[in-house]
């Protein structure tokens, strides 16, 4: 089984031939000050179709790691590979096929959504950014249904909808290019229990159909254990501080073998919306 996280496996090779991890981070050190990185030497790999949770307190560096994995933040050291290919750039310098292979959803939809765009424009933004604007109308409506967003909301702007509705739109935006890897950074941190369960169900339906891998970052142990195949704990080397003086390491990989009937950890895709495939 690939997808095991080690502290310093620098081999850079998948353990078994033929098993290319969907996402792999090797020896990643990252942060905002070179002398005081918030993430140190983290290695982790996620197999195709696998869901891995990173669990840690706020300010521990897990969000930074999520941004590195989503090719949004350049690490000081280490490599990121997506589908076996090493990342060659970050942010807008990332090659398009790599950038579009990863979808990302953040905790605060209001900070990641352009307030001037309607929800319809917001969720099809990535299509236009890669020259597929003609498909926007059709795919937009399809995605809105997929994430449970009423079609009449698509004409509204972020301030005219609730956090839950806006987060549905942000999730749709992350899915519009059909990524092979999804990174959810505290996606449901601001949401109530029902909206949380609904968004997790959307992600799982998408993964069920597409075989995409998931990196879910958060602090809600109950939620992440129920949602993901494996849960990795971050531990702070610097005590309770958000200053980045300590830096973080992956403590251990906790494999959570599925117990009996618990196999269906996540809400199975409702039959009505899952195309028979």
Partner 1 sequence: MSALLSVTGLSVRFRMRQGRHIHAVTEVSFDLAAGECLALVGESGCGKSVLAAALLGLLPGNAQVRGAALLPQGPDLLSADETTMAKAVRGRQVGLVPQSPAAHLTPVRTVRAQLEETVRELTGVRRAEARTAALEAAERAAFPADHLDRHPHQLSGGLAQRAATALALVGDAPLLIADEPTTGLDRDLVEHTVDELRRHAEDGRGLLMITHDLAAAERIADRVAVMYAGRVVEIASAADFFGPPGPRHPYARGLLNALPEREFTPIPGNPPELGALPDGCAFAPRCTRVAKACRTDTPALVEGTACHFPLERTAPAGAGAGATAGMTGPRVGGGGPR
Residues lying near partner 1 in the complex (CB under 8 A) are found at 56-59, 107, 148, 150, 162-165, 186, 189-198, 200-201, 219-223, 225-227, 240-243, 266-267
Whole-angstrom Cα distance, residue 45 to residue 35? 26
Q: How far is the CB of 59 from partner 1 (least distance, A)?
A: 4
Distances (CA, A) of 120 to 126, 199, 209: 12, 18, 24
Which CB atom, from 19 or from 163, has the smaller least distance to partner 1?
163
Q: How far is the CB of 18 from partner 1 (least distance, A)?
A: 34
Q: Which residues are CB-contacts of 251 (< 8 A; sequence separation ≥ 6)?
A: 232, 233, 234, 235
Which CB atom, from 1 or from 111, has the smaller least distance to partner 1?
111
Sign (positive or negative) of CA dihedral 148, 125, 223, 59: negative
Whole-angstrom Cα distance, residue 20 to residue 165? 36
Whole-angstrom Cα distance, residue 134 to residue 241? 48
Q: How far is the CB of 79 from partner 1 (least distance, A)?
A: 28
Q: How far is the CB of 147 from partner 1 (least distance, A)?
A: 11
Whole-angstrom Cα distance, residue 265 to residue 67? 26
Q: Which tokens hold the place of 200? A: 């997790």
Please state whether beta strands 230-236 and 248-255 pair in parallel, antiparallel, or not at all (unpaired): antiparallel
Q: How far is the CB of 271 from partner 1 (least distance, A)?
A: 13
Which CB atom, from 18 or from 260, has the smaller least distance to partner 1?
260
Which CB atom, from 1 or from 193, has the smaller least distance to partner 1?
193
Which CB atom, from 97 or from 142, has the smaller least distance to partner 1?
142
């Amino acid at each position: 089984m690939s997808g095991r996280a080690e502290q310093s496996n620098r081999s850079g090779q998948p353990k078994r031939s033929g098993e290319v991890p969907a996402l792999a981070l090797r020896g990643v050190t990252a942060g905002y000050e070179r002398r005081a990185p918030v993430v140190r030497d983290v290695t982790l790999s996620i197999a195709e179709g696998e869901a891995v949770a990173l669990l840690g307190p706020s300010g521990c560096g897990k969000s930074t790691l999520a941004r590195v994995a989503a090719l949004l933040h350049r690490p000081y050291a280490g490599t990121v590979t997506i589908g076996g290919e090493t990342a060659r750039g970050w942010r807008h310098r990332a090659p398009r096929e790599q950038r579009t292979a990863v979808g990302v959803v953040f905790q605060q939809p209001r900070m990641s959504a352009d307030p001037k765009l309607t929800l319809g424009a917001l969720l099809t933004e990535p299509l236009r950014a890669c020259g597929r604007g003609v498909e926007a109308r059709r795919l937009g409506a399809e995605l809105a249904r997929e994430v449970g967003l009423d079609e009449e909301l698509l004409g509204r702007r972020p301030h005219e909808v609730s956090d839950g509705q806006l987060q549905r739109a942000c999730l749709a935006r992350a899915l519009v290019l059909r990524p092979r890897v999804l990174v959810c950074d505290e996606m449901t941190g601001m949401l109530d229990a029902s909206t949380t369960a609904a968004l997790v169900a959307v992600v799982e339906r998408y993964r069920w159909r597409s075989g995409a891998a998931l990196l879910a970052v958060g602090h809600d142990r109950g939620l992440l254990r129920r949602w993901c195949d494996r849960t990795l704990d971050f531990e702070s080397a610097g005590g309770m501080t958000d200053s980045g003086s300590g830096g973080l390491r992956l403590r251990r990989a906790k494999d959570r073998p599925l117990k009996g009937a618990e196999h269906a950890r996540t809400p199975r895709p409702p039959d009505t919306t899952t195309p028979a495939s």
